[in-house]
Structure 1
């Protein structure tokens, strides 16, 4: 950013001597810091709570279904052990996996007991259990004290710091607030009796074979679910030594019993999920078959009813020999035709599914449609597995990771091959269908010579037989799918389950901390001396600006404490808002001194992006509007538009659309929540912003705005980066040039100084932005510049956001400042 400027100041070599003397002058600070560091380390050591590490080992196998045959086509290959291992590693590191584990173990709920320095997690050692209502929002982040009074009575005690408390529903995971009374809440309950409070609902019962003594005190604490998941996810590590099928899963925690349960549950959930994914193909097939059975069963019942009704009505219960032979031929051909049509329908649906879907995890097995083509069976299985793997990785891997590119390439390749297989198989089936239809027509011609009652009976029997055969085929396929699903076993083999046989203790060498404390105390003075010795090239105070530039400072603006730029609108009584009012007064005095009548124009620019020109232009326009003057803020930074975001308006149309003649002025002006303030955004980014800003249409735009508004504020591009802003000075009465504390480099002012000295730019003033008299450089000069009651004792009662803080570092600086 700063490469655009040529810093005219002469560089200076680093002065070692000056650095050493400055460092020695901070010896008092070193002694104080060393004493503080030693005291801190001592207190930390005596309060240290050791962490432990335990691990479990699993092996990722490639167990195939023992019942798999060439006909049992519902089982598919997972792609080998290597692919499985990588999938398991990613799954074990995923947030979704840890969410399942935390939810199953209810680790968002802790049982605590007060120790010497802290509340300690006692987990299963607690003599009671609290069974909470899962669908009720429970108090989070605040310990609930449980004091046992008698054998069957206890007291709940909660201290609320404010009027509201946070709660979380552990079914929906939604966090909400509930109104409470500040202070200490106490209430007695019976053990085993329901507890129904606005912030807590459940039942407290004693653990099996446990008793409690009178006066014993414990704590229950619910925590934010997402925070607990993130904590366990961050403390769980998965390693795959030497790219073997062995995975080593370890966890660090302060409670070894929790580590054991968490690791074993991590593996249990992984085994279940892996088996479910392994069964996904069969599950999809069963779901599809059930839908078909339901449909065919209805048809079968109707056909059976029609057959019985016809026989009873016409008293025909059997066919003659010729009719029987024709019926058998027709039934056989109907079954063959139905089988072909079923395969053709499957291929058509599969082809449409491949063309329109981005996920291929729901493809039913081809075998349920009677398809035995090995190429299609294998390719459908492979594309289904790759899609399941991709779907699983989306929860834990960034979408632009290389693994997704590999999976997408494999899926696309398989899809193209499968489409070719479908095309070839469809052609074969269509030829077979023509042959069957020819045979069917021949038999039906013989059928037409039979008596009418015989024909009718045969037709009904044909429909019944066809439905019956289809129903039996689907029942057989469903049985096959159920057998394969039931016989599948997980590919996760537990080698060593987690067990506390001697947990590894972490961080036992505490004395080394005193060494680090010494060097940390020494490092601070050395760093301070080094930083202050270096040639500092940033602007740190209004005094720096006065020394660097002949251009007058119109005003000084403090730091913006809000999350957007609308501080004058949202905090009208703040010190920053007062600073903008002072700038408004100074500008009005300038306009009056120049005897300017009618609409007044103002341009706001800076050296580079980030110095606050948009912040200034928005709030200058706001203070003008708050004074009852019709004001318009025009975004002329066509390369990097910003102002629309703060006002929550769209940037679909704006200055660009007007300048190219696409929209009228009325269409590009947008209202804001601030009365009397309108905004014209820059609009879509054009390919030629510089040419647009020098077009005659801009002069026409300013002229039209002067007829409608009292004040026109132009938010322009940075002068130091592009030449656009220079072209705009001819349209304005005065200009503001932003300088930001601890951001603007001194050399950046050379550019505007030169323009001002050669009178290329006149009627320009500087605005000092981001002023903080308590900044790290300690410039407490108390500048006025319209800052009004910004800081100091006189500010009390005038500004709602003024706070006076006096820290240790500030006092130390005053002691050691030269």
Structure 2
């Protein structure tokens, strides 16, 4: 049983939903159309966005394969490719600035075509050269309007007074900013130098200006970078790959292509510059060492030759030669180790004495400890990042403070690593010195001349080896410098795409349609939720248990007039099912409040009953607000109040309408005490007299929700019809009427729904309940 009730309620709810949709169908359609039209306009005027992409391969430096013992080559080795670092380099302000230097992007050109804004880029029919531009004019819009083939109008417009911002500023609520005060409007010729305190421009015509108006503006370096950072996308094609995919989105497909190609060119250039700088540093170091060793070599060679000539010594013995060669080899190693210590000491001193570490080279420590090289590499990156951030922010900015903390941490780690490496090198140096000391003791046992010759020969051999080594390294470094290439390779260059990726215009319109339907339905159900009036017979039946005797549609035309007549006939038919009385039937017609049509229903019901040759009298008992006489177009000079106060007789207050065969008794003079007048015995006698003379007596009573007169008169009636008006009578009034009917069980109540709209709502409520089909257009098609 419960499940049946639940299913029944579910069906009713679904029916109510459908009826609500149909009730507000036009508002839903209009709202959906507005959203669709708005989304279509938005999709149309939104500029096309084009995408261009390129792929770049990051290759490892081949120098990594060199021998670990070759410390001079490793000293300036930057290591392999770090993909994450290179992605950040691609997005950096440093690289963007180098790329922008290869292009002319600061001036942007616009025009409007078919209500759509178009950026012209290199398709502009004129070119603007700015010799001087005040900072206030960056981002300000210049409007160029062609006058003829040789001249144009140039203007900078003030803030529109019709905008909210303009209104507030014009009335001094918000002060005007400096750049908002700049206004300009003058005519000029092409190629003419335009001088102004704020700018100096030269506008050259390239070809004919076909549109009515053009616009151009200038971007700052910061604005350019924000534009670049917003639209650039750099990603790995896969986790293990060293291939990067660069994508750029722009309103100009040509500019997107050129920016990507410029970014790769700038990336290659900065790599080559960095490597060339390292090679130059290496060559400088070698040249300084060569000068020192060359002087020593000449000096040791001269001393050796002078000693041989003076002492006429040709050479050493076999054992002395062997000992001397070994000692020369160890002393050469000691010299190389001292060079390493010098490099590390210089690096240690550089880190201690320099705050700006952007010039620090990373390769000079890799031969000692690869981990130290990684630390120096990270330190250089953080120092470069800090310099970039300081362009836009102060030292107190959180990002700058974070980078400063990273730099301090890295410097501490590098200093600790340097101390460890220097300690290890010094230990190895001391060991070599001990070995050299033993060989020196062996040489000391030789004869004096042979010992001196060994010493001079050894010094000469050491200097010669180091000099040859440095010459070899200088030649290698020079070759590397002359053959320096980038470690990146452009696999797929950017191309110009003719089809935009955005906006998805069909999708935007579809979303607009769906959103319009959602908003329309939401507003419909919201209106339904806040609408507290009854609209059809179903709601009447839900809210009260009073039986529904009739549904009267709105009377708008001839067709509806026939429907109204049939509705009253239905009520007349339903009256035949009332219990029969020996005397006449007394009908009281009331409503909850005024304006629900009870007087009209009383008059029309009297007319329709009179058509069956019944004697009918209708009484206007609304002694506070007379209105029945207007329905019959008669005067209201005398009536019920005059009769009850014995001023006039029944025949004098009775009016017979020949057209409808209905007798009417109006209110007459409005009495000061209508309730007391109705409660008199004269009223009872009056009704008894009418019962003897008429078949039907109809009372037009006051609204039952406002005064007590109606309740008094209902006690005289065989049935009391309560009138409710569709989309007018409140639901709580209907509930009150239901409570009233339950409290007065001695009275018979009936409900009449008035003013129902004809159509699906009326046809369903009336036709379904009574089966007459009066809501069907075909019923009156041939009548």
User: Which TM-score band (shorter chain)?
Assistant: 0.3 to 0.5
- Give the TM-score, by structure 1 length: 0.44
Which structure is higher in helix share? 2
- Give the TM-score, by structure 2 length: 0.45
